[in-house]
């Protein structure tokens, strides 16, 4: 049904209309009005509601420090800021990798990369993994995922639990758009196409309980359309312009939900899989290392009512905490063997409606195999952050390499303070070594291995990744 809608001529009529609407929205202030004002105590009551929907938006490649509510001075994110201001914002969030597939496997399953094994080119989630969409589907939600990133394609197991899991068909007409990514890559379609597909889904199933996942990709491609302010001509400026554009697309979705009266019963979550580097540590792009610019990401929860003020969480948390928190918030069953934890008690504590007397600080971990695309090249990198210190460890370099940063005094991670034998360093190293050397297999099975055909390889090359030729 959904596929038919995506292919229908009506879709293109609707698509053209929506694109005009997005253009119009640029000229008028459509930044979020109108959810009813709620009390913080209502957060606790969400679990008892049987009318809640969930919209989960992953903005691929969005680093936290380019978002207004995270302190950025440029006006990039009017709509995200408004959502955060009256909802819940986590200000210190670590993605579990700087490469989409490893990061998204952790985000969905609440497990660390060491324990889920989705680390390299051909690794895929096994069917034994239980994904949030399966839990939501089993609880009676209509489930749809709209993605344009080949690393979260069905062949890697990311479609589990989705009734509809689709790349939107590229629109035939669209606004003038620029794509200024340094690595090039011509990813077909746009986030407007994803928006059209989302509207189709909501049109068909919005009167039932629904879970909608949108994986936005225009930012990954530094793509923006007309009506975007001119921030300059560096890659970093183009990136900011693409954030502004993506924020507008999200604002439009929000406006549609408002018009259809669904804001009062829909939770809207914004997350990201990794950031983007602009030569802070010598590289552009991502999937090369684990420094702050590529692993610190936003996480915002828009509630079905407005809080005034919203809840701000400063404790360091991780993307693996997202789904344990959301499932708990909605009173749904949890994930299997998650390493992440529900932060609902922390939210209630910061909202002033509950005491927990828990210490919420604990080490946060990230992992990247920088050799993920090469058959015989394994270059693991492990990062651990705790109590204002971050240790980055390259265990297979000869000799192994270490970097230690003071994340409070040196948030850009520019000064390596590593001294062998220092007690703080040793404590972090012990924590990192335990995770890396003693993985706790999350589902009792290894990652599935998949072969990629040329079509799929080309879809990945279109993102600008130097995907190797398979032998
Ligand atoms: Zn990504």
Burial of 132 (0-12, 13-18, 19+ CB in 10 A): buried
Ramachandran bin of 441, using left for φ above 0, alpha for ψ from -120 to 50, beta for the remaining angles: beta
> Which whole-number Å values give the CA distances from 237 to 229, 230, 243, in the listed order?
10, 8, 10
C-alpha of residue 229 to centroid of ligand 1, in Å: 24
Consecutive sets of 10 residues in the chain, 471 residues long: mean pLDDT of each?
A: 42 50 47 68 96 98 98 97 97 98 98 97 95 98 96 96 94 68 76 94 95 97 92 96 97 95 96 98 94 98 96 97 98 97 96 87 96 85 97 96 97 96 93 96 91 78 70 44
C-alpha of residue 195 to centroid of ligand 1, in Å: 19
Global confidence as pTM: 0.92
C-alpha of residue 152 to centroid of ligand 1, in Å: 9
Cis peptide before 437 (omega within 30 of 0): no
C-alpha of residue 425 to centroid of ligand 1, in Å: 30
C-alpha of residue 354 to centroid of ligand 1, in Å: 36
Query: Which pLDDT belongs to residue 27?
Result: 44
Burial of 1 (0-12, 13-18, 19+ CB in 10 A): exposed
What distance in Å separates the CA atoms of residue 109 and residue 417, rounded to the nearest whole number?
A: 34
Closest Cα to residue 119, out of 305, 372, 364, 344?
Answer: 372
- Is residue 145 within 8 A of residue 167, CB to CB? The reply is no
- Is residue 61 within 8 A of residue 219, CB to CB? The reply is yes
Per DSSP, what are the bridge partners of residue 301? 88, 269
C-alpha of residue 262 to centroid of ligand 1, in Å: 29
Q: What is the CA radius of gyration of the chain?
A: 21
- Is residue 229 within 8 A of residue 78, CB to CB? The reply is no
C-alpha of residue 455 to centroid of ligand 1, in Å: 19
CATH number listed for the domain at residues 2-350: 3.40.720.10
DSSP string spanning 256-279?
A: HHHHTT-GGGEEEEEE-S---EES
The DSSP letter of residue 306 is B
C-alpha of residue 356 to centroid of ligand 1, in Å: 35
C-alpha of residue 274 to centroid of ligand 1, in Å: 6
C-alpha of residue 257 to centroid of ligand 1, in Å: 26
C-alpha of residue 185 to centroid of ligand 1, in Å: 14
114's CB contacts (< 8 A; 6+ apart) are 365, 367, 435, 436, 439, 440
The DSSP letter of residue 27 is H
Domain boundaries, the chain: 2-350, 364-461
Per-residue burial over 76-107, b if 16 or more Cβ lie within 10 Å, else e, is: bbbbbbbbbbbbbbbbbbbbbbbbbbbbbbbb
C-alpha of residue 253 to centroid of ligand 1, in Å: 21
What distance in Å separates the CA atoms of residue 314 and residue 311, rounded to the nearest whole number?
A: 10
C-alpha of residue 60 to centroid of ligand 1, in Å: 5
What distance in Å separates the CA atoms of residue 323 and residue 345, rounded to the nearest whole number?
A: 14
User: How many beta carbons lie within 10 A of that of residue 122, not counting itself?
Assistant: 16
Give CA angle at 401 (396, 402), nearest 5°: 130
Query: Which pLDDT belongs to residue 30?
Result: 45
DSSP string spanning 359-385?
A: -----EEEEEETTTTSTT---EEEEEE
Burial of 331 (0-12, 13-18, 19+ CB in 10 A): middle
C-alpha of residue 417 to centroid of ligand 1, in Å: 30
C-alpha of residue 217 to centroid of ligand 1, in Å: 8
What distance in Å separates the CA atoms of residue 230 and residue 233, rounded to the nearest whole number?
A: 8
C-alpha of residue 102 to centroid of ligand 1, in Å: 9
> Which whole-number Å values give the CA distances from 392 to 79, 368, 380, in the listed order?
34, 11, 11
């Amino acid at each position: 049904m959904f596929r038919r809608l995506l292919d229908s001529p009506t879709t293109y009529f609707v698509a053209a209309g929506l694109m005009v609407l997005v253009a119009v929205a640029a000229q008028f202030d459509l930044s979020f009005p109108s959810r009813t004002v709620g009390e913080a105590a209502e957060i606790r009551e969400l679990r008892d509601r049987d009318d809640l929907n969930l919209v989960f938006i992953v903005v691929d490649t969005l680093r936290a420090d380019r978002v207004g509510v995270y302190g950025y001075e440029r006006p990039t994110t009017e709509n995200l800021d408004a959502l955060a201001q009256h909802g819940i914002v986590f200000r210190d969030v670590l993605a579990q990798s700087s490469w989409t597939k490893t990061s998204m496997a952790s985000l969905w399953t609440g497990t660390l990369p060491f324990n889920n094994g989705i680390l390299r080119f051909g690794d895929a989630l096994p069917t034994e993994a239980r994904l949030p969409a399966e839990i939501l589907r089993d609880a009676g939600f209509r489930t749809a995922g709209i993605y344009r990133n080949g690393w979260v394609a069905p062949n890697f197991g990311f479609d589990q639990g989705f009734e509809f899991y689709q790349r939107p068909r590229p629109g035939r007409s669209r606004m003038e758009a620029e794509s200024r990514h340094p690595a090039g890559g011509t990813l077909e379609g746009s986030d407007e196409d994803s928006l059209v597909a989302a509207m189709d889904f909501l049109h068909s199933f919005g009167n039932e309980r629904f879970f909608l996942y949108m994986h936005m990709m225009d930012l990954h491609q530094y793509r923006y359309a007309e009506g975007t302010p001119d921030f300059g001509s560096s890659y970093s400026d183009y990136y900011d312009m693409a954030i502004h554009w993506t924020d507008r697309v999200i604002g439009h979705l929000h406006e549609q939900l408002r018009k259809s009266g669904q804001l009062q019963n829909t939770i809207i979550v914004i997350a990201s899989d990794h950031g983007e580097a602009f030569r802070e540590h010598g590289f552009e792009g991502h999937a090369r290392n684990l420094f702050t610019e590529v692993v610190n990401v936003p996480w915002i929860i828009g509630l079905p009512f407005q809080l005034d003020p919203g809840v701000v969480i400063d404790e360091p948390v991780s993307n693996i905490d997202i789904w344990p928190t959301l499932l708990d918030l909605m009173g749904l069953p949890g994930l299997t063997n998650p390493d992440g934890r529900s932060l609902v008690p922390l939210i209630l504590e910061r909202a002033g409606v509950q005491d927990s007397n828990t210490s919420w600080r604990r080490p946060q971990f990230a992992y990247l195999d920088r050799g993920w695309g090469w058959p015989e090249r394994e270059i693991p990198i492990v990062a651990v952050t705790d109590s204002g210190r971050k240790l980055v460890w390259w265990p297979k370099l000869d000799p192994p390499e270490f970097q230690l940063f003071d994340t409070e005094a040196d948030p850009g991670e520019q000064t390596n303070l590593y001294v062998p034998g220092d007690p703080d360093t040793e404590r972090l190293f012990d924590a990192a070594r335990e995770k890396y050397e003693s993985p706790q297999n999350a589902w009792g099975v290894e990652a599935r291995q998949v072969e990629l055909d040329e079509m799929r390889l080309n879809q990945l090359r279109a993102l600008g990744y130097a995907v190797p030729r398979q032998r």
